[in-house]
Amino acid sequence: MTTDTNYDLIIVGGGMVGASLAIALKNSGLRIAVIEAVAPNSLQQPSYDDRGIALAYGSQRIFETMGIWPQLAKHSTAISHIHVSDRGHFGVTRLSAVDEQLPALGQVITARAMGQVLNAALSAQDNLSLICPASVRSLQQHNDVVELELDNNQTLTTKLLVAADGGQSTIRHLLKLGALERDYQQTAITANITTERPHNGKAFERFTDTGPIALLPMSDNRCSLVWTVNSGDEVALLNASEHEFLNQLQDRFGYRLGKFIRVGQRHHYPLKLMQADQAVQQRIVLIGNAAHSLHPIAGQGFNLGLRDVAALADVLVNTNKDSGDARLLHDYQQWRLQDQDNVIEATSNLVNFFSNNNPLLGHCRGAALSIIDALPPAKHWLAQKSMGLDRKQPRLARRIPL
């Protein structure tokens, strides 16, 4: 085998999570390859469409320490407030960046803009080979390396293989890993919305009996919409005229932003929970959606994946010998497991608690939102959780360069 085919780290998947890990390790001295099936500038690249991505404040700090936040900030809109309500019931919870003594609770950026910044950073990285377009055909785990055969007939070896190839992970399937799965019987409709009133940096999470409606602030007085409906109901909404679609959305959301004026292209995707069994294998780690796919309620999916990135990078820079050493991977697994389990449990509980029309639960929800809003310590706790700051922080999240 030539040195051109041997790596310290191969990342399968060059989307937001995989690219972020490679960039986080730019100064690590590790020889890295990223294998990506779809060309980065392709309109078919699923990771880099026009969806709005909610970056928690903790995620912003990770990107700041990685050195790419100035480029991301040009495309981002700050979240100054978060307004949480329950349709048809009293009670709201309001979170404020001022109350948390922070410049913002988070940021909103389109996946496409993030992809442009991440790809530019990858192209300038000295310790990186981008193998694209290519897919993994087969793999073999050996004591000292993982051997990969690609669909372009290349054979590569790596001390550590990281699967960041999304919810339909090829690596997970090749390993024949089982997973905890739950079909929520819900579908998310996404689009960009123009509103009559300025959003002034306020994000909204409005719970309804069919699931939450999230509106996230964006540039040009637009909002990024994630509208959860019962599976099957999305067909009529996707085929509805712009006027009818906005009328139905208005009925579900209300008039806190005035009238909805315009809607962009509509997309949809089914909502399912997936948590892979044993996401750490011999010389292999699954991260991001390859390890756990969440309901979009509370916007935790990508932020959870980015915390995977920061923790794994933290562990890997502690070695200059064997990046796939079992002790390192054990440390990573122990670090991340509780956060992953807690977020998965919390999002599932929120779906169960809020996505129904049970009158008794409705009164309980309203009371809970009112109590949290009236108690500063409770609001601070909720804000810390939403920003990803309520747990052990890796160095990147503490602004300590790797």
- Whether 188 is covered by a domain: the verdict is no
- Whether 8 is covered by a domain: the verdict is yes
Q: What percent of the chain has pLDDT over 70?
A: 94
Instruction: Report pLDDT for 1.
Output: 32
CA atoms within 13 A on the CB side of 131: 23
41-45, 184-188, 193-197: lowest mean pLDDT where?
A: 41-45
- Whether 94 is covered by a domain: the verdict is no
- Whether 42 is covered by a domain: the verdict is yes
User: Which CATH number characterizes residue 57's domain?
Assistant: 3.50.50.60
Which of 40-54, 211-225, 317-331 shows the highest mean pLDDT?
Answer: 211-225
For range 276-282, the mean pLDDT:
94
40-49, 123-132, 153-162, 342-351: lowest mean pLDDT where?
A: 40-49
Which tokens is 256 given?
């806190």
Looking at the predicted structure, is the pLDDT value of residue 361 above 50?
yes
Distance CA 175, CA 17 (A): 20
Looking at the predicted structure, is the pLDDT value of residue 298 above 60?
yes
Instruction: Report pLDDT for 3.
Output: 45
Mean pLDDT over all residues of the chain?
A: 91
Looking at the predicted structure, is the pLDDT value of residue 40 above 70?
no
For range 47-56, the mean pLDDT:
80
- For 140, the enclosing helix (H) or strand (E) is strand 136-141
- Whether 330 is covered by a domain: the verdict is yes
For range 300-321, the mean pLDDT:
90
2 band by pLDDT with thresholds 50, 70 and 90: very low
Distance CA 304, CA 223 (A): 23
Q: What percent of the chain has pLDDT over 90?
A: 73
Give the length of the chain. Answer: 402
Distance CA 390, CA 382 (A): 9
Looking at the predicted structure, is the pLDDT value of residue 355 above 80?
no
395 band by pLDDT with thresholds 50, 70 and 90: very high
Instruction: Report pLDDT for 90.
Output: 81
Burial level of 150, CB count in 10 A (0-12/13-18/19+)? middle
48 band by pLDDT with thresholds 50, 70 and 90: low
Distance CA 329, CA 323 (A): 9
Distance CA 61, CA 69 (A): 8
The residues pairing with 204 across neighbouring beta strands, listed in sequence order, are 83, 215
Higher pLDDT, 353 or 236: 236
Looking at the predicted structure, is the pLDDT value of residue 247 above 80?
yes
356 band by pLDDT with thresholds 50, 70 and 90: low
13-17, 35-39, 60-64, 270-274: lowest mean pLDDT where?
A: 35-39
- Whether 362 is covered by a domain: the verdict is no
- Whether 235 is covered by a domain: the verdict is no
Neighbours of 168 (CB within 10 A): 12
CA atoms within 13 A on the CB side of 200: 9
Range of the domain at 37: 3-79+106-180+273-355+391-398
Which tokens is 254 given?
């209300």
- The count of domains in the chain is 1
